[in-house]
Amino acid sequence: MLVHSLEVETSPDRVVVLGARGFIGAALVAGLASDDVPSLALDRTRLDLLASNAASTLAGFILPTDCLVVISALTPDRGKDAATLMKNLSMGQAVADAIAAAPPAHVVYVSSDAVYPDDAALADERTPAAPASFHGQMHLVRETMLAAVFRGPMARLRPSLVYGRGDTHNGYGPNRFLREGQAGNPIKLFGQGEEMRDHISIDDVVELIRRTIRKRSSGVLNLVTGRSASFRDVAVAVGHALGRQVEIVGAPRGGPITHRHYDVAARIRAFPDFTPLDLQSGLARALG
């Protein structure tokens, strides 16, 4: 589902990163620096996408040879309500207006697998997007907003649950479990942690974004490992990574159990020589 414009990997003249202080953005900027790829790291202190002049300001930054990576978003830990949705859409509109006024060479939109329906037990890039949450709806609309104004190659990357060093969130999963374990607290599961999810290391997410940039790719790609694990298995793996016995406690379940697996055939086709970290290796890296 991802089509490469460039046969041979070629770094762009510059990468403009929106959301450069966030979890993924900061890791990407560091990765680009290690590749010696010039980048313009824009965070809220340099560009407030909710400001009335955001579009024109951003347009002033973009050069025609740039690759623009859009990661900036108010994540669910900052709000799951309609007001947050509308702010996110306003930010998306500002980016779309800027792209319309000053199109770059390549756009990479970092979306989310929240665009897929919650009951899609086995998903791939062809799974119809039917987001149940404002967060998923926001990403889907923003994908559409940018595609509507940009005629060049645009990649829509949809990561699953991302974990690793530098996480600015504390969502249910590896990062929170690591924090709980490191603090000597029990790891608290919903139910018995039966739900299967695909957890991907930040290092793999950054690597896939870098490859997408270098191949000037367009289309949709899920940033996933293809190896789902239950939250209980993740908790056990965290214990192993910490090298000590960690108490794991269940709690009454609020909703039904859902699972999510990914078919990664499209990723294999896009990047045949890419292999994601297994959970244990990823957790070890997260611990540094």
Partner 1 sequence: MSGLTVAFAGLTHLGIVSAAAAAEHCDRVIGYDADAGRVADLAAGRLPIEEPGLADLVAKGGNRLTWTSDVGALRSADLVYVSIDVPTDAKGVSDLRSVEAIVERVMPALSEDAVLIVLCQVPPGFTRRIPRPAATRYYQVETLIFGRAVERARQPERFIVGAADPSRPLPSSYHRFLSSFGCPILPMRYESAELAKTAINIFLAAQVTATNTLAELCEVTGADWNEIVPSLRLDARIGRYAYLAPGLGLSGGNIERDIVTLTRIAAERGTDGGLLEAFAANADYRKDWVLRALHHKVMDKSPNPVVALWGLAYKIGTHSTRNAPSVALLSALPTVRFRACDPVAELPSGGFPNLERFDDPIETVRGAAALVVLTPWPEYRDANPGAIARAMAGRVILDPFRHLDHAALVRSGLRPSALGVSQ
Q: Is 229 in the site for partner 1 (CB under 8 A)?
A: no
In the complex, the smallest distance separating the C-beta of residue 226 from partner 1, rounded to whole angstroms, is 8
- Which window, 63-71, 150-158, 167-175, 269-277, contacts partner 1 (CB under 8 A)? 269-277
As a whole number of angstroms, the distance between CA 195 and CA 85 comes to: 27
Binding mask 97-136 for partner 1 (x = CB under 8 A): ---------------------------x-x----------
Under rule CB under 8 A, how many of the chain's residues touch partner 1? Answer: 12
How many of the other CB atoms lie within 10 Å of CB of 17? 27
188 forms beta bridges with 249
Report how far apart, in Å, the C-alpha atoms of 115 and of each of 3, 27, 133 are. Answer: 21, 23, 8
Contacts with 173 (C-beta within 8 Å, 6 or more apart), sequence order: 161, 163, 197, 199, 231, 234
In the complex, the smallest distance separating the C-beta of residue 18 from partner 1, rounded to whole angstroms, is 32
Of 251 and 265, nearer to partner 1 (C-beta) is 265
In the complex, the smallest distance separating the C-beta of residue 108 from partner 1, rounded to whole angstroms, is 22
In the complex, the smallest distance separating the C-beta of residue 224 from partner 1, rounded to whole angstroms, is 13
As a whole number of angstroms, the distance between CA 141 and CA 116 comes to: 13
Query: Maximum distance among all alpha carbons in the chain?
Result: 56
Contact with partner 1 (CB under 8 A) among 53, 65, 275, 280: 275
Is the Cβ–Cβ distance between 23 and 170 less than 8 Å?
Answer: no
Residues that bind partner 1 (CB under 8 A): 124, 126, 226, 263-265, 268-269, 272-275
